[in-house]
Amino acid sequence: MPDTNLTPELQDFYERFKSFWAAPSGARVPEVIAPDAKIHFTGVGIMSGAEYADWMGEMLLQMEGMTVTPLDCAGNGDMLYIAWETSALIHGERRVYRGVDRFRLKDGMAIEEHVIFDSAVLTPEGRGGIEQ
């Protein structure tokens, strides 16, 4: 059911984001991220949308069984905030953590993304993340 608090453009992007994570791949990144977008990824740094597509392909191979479940979203103008939960095999154990992506959209595509989460969950010690 569509979120009536979102503009049609933001709702469309949210639906495409959910579709991406239902069957993620590096090759599908251009469905939501513009090639010249500026991506800020916690613990990794800044990259272009084109670089992000390659990086995402590699990350999906490394994080066995990774799933991302969108939990909620909110919009404001050209900004869309999506809260999510991730589960993946990290350092030999299943870890679940939460975060938020903040997107700036233009013509239906993300031109900026901030992926925000407690990156300590990715370390061998695996501190619990922001929900702990």
Residue 110 belongs to a domain with what CATH number? 3.10.450.50
The answer as to whether 16 is a domain residue is: yes
Residue 131 in any domain: the answer is no
Which pair of structure tokens corresponds to residue 31? 């469905």
The count of structural domains within the chain is 1
Contact 86, 21 (CB under 8 A): no
How many CB atoms are closer than 10 A to CB 53?
Answer: 20
User: Is the residue at 39 inside a domain?
Assistant: yes
Q: What is the pLDDT of residues 89-111, one digit of tens each?
A: 988 889 999 999 999 999 999 99
- pLDDT grade for 5, boundaries at 50, 70 and 90: confident
20: pLDDT strictly greater than 60: yes
Which burial class, exposed, middle or buried, applies to 30 when counting CB atoms under 10 A from its CB (0-12, 13-18, 19+)?
A: middle
Confidence at 4, pLDDT banded by 50, 70, 90: low
Task: Kindly state whether residue 104 falls inside one of the protein's structural domains.
Answer: yes
Between CA 55 and CA 74 the distance in angstroms is 27
| Residue 126 within any structural domain of the chain | no
Q: Which residues contact 86 (CB under 8 A, 6 or more apart)?
A: 66, 67, 68, 69, 96, 97, 98, 99, 117
91 in a structural domain: yes
Gap between the Cα atoms of 56 and 39, Å rounded = 12
From CA 69, how far away is CA 65, in angstroms rounded? 13
Q: Quick one: DSSP state of residue 12? A: H
| Percent of the chain topping pLDDT 90 | 76
Residue 125 lies in a domain: no
Domain that holds residue 43: 8-118
Q: Is 19 part of any domain?
A: yes
